[in-house]
Amino acid sequence: MINPSFKKLSEINNSRYALCVMVSKRARMLIDGKETKLKKAKAQPVTTALEEVMEKKVWEDKSNE
């Protein structure tokens, strides 16, 4: 299990809700078969998605707003 710092995550987005939605959407994509953007994927899709967000390999799509 990964315990990220909110300070580090708040650099990406200040909204905890938006971060949660971003990670959960990315985890769903990974479960549905999308390729990971990390060199080595973790066992759990949520952990992989969170690490992708933390490493800024994925970002929030604001075009639907």
In a domain, 19, yes or no: yes
Domain with 20, as residue range(s), is 6-54
Tell how far CA 22 is from the center of its chain.
Answer: 6
Residue 3 has pLDDT above 70, yes or no: yes
pLDDT computed for residue 64 by the predictor:
55
Contact predicate 22/62, CB 8 Å: no
In a domain, 23, yes or no: yes
pLDDT in tens, 10-59: 888 888 899 999 999 999 999 999 998 888 877 899 999 999 998 888 87
Helix (H, G, I), strand (E, B) or coil at 42: coil
pLDDT computed for residue 11 by the predictor:
84
In a domain, 16, yes or no: yes
- What is the value of pTM for the model shown? 0.78
Helix (H, G, I), strand (E, B) or coil at 64: coil
In a domain, 61, yes or no: no
Helix (H, G, I), strand (E, B) or coil at 32: coil
Q: Considering its fold, how many domains does the chain have in total?
A: 1
